[in-house]
Amino acid sequence: MGQSLSAHVGDKEVTVATLRVDGKKMTLQFFKQIPKISYFTDNDEPDPSLAPWGRINYSIAKEGKEWLLVEKENSLFKCCIDLPSVSDWEIEHHAKWAADAKQKISEYAGKKFYENMLKTQEENFSRHSKGIEMAKKKLLVAQKKFALLQKLQELPQLYLA
């Protein structure tokens, strides 16, 4: 009354697209030398003059780890397409310090002895209030870029030699 199990392994086909320059596979050293440009315009929209070729995952220290190879005016460029790192922590940090400064402002208000400290806390409040607004704007831009960069995942993955 034993039960028999069976397994089947089928063939899978994989296509690997390598970049070639003058018939030779593009190396990492060659890739590093390709000029870097921004994929986004000043309005945080994709630059319409860029023709994407494909994506490359390769980490270059202090530059990025996910790249888009693009053509612009018959020249080859690379664009870093790492997602911007923005977190709610930044907003929370500024909100905490702005609230702290506001509390101290109410404590020091009208007390001659604390005039210098009051001015400092008013400056802190102003700085952290601006920080909150800047962090919110960065978060909105990051969300917009994330949606745009998700579409690039459909492009072919390119491999270097």
Closest to 14 (Cα-Cα) out of 159, 160, 161: 159
The domain locations on the chain are 17-83+155-159, 88-140
In this prediction the pTM is 0.60
The pLDDT tens digits for 10-50 are: 676 666 667 677 777 878 888 889 999 999 888 888 999 99
pLDDT at 77: 94
Closest to 135 (Cα-Cα) out of 81, 82, 83, 95: 95
Where does the pLDDT of residue 133 fall: very low under 50, low under 70, confident under 90, or very high at 90 and above?
Answer: confident
The pLDDT tens digits for 51-104 are: 999 899 888 888 889 899 999 999 999 999 887 666 667 778 888 888 888 888
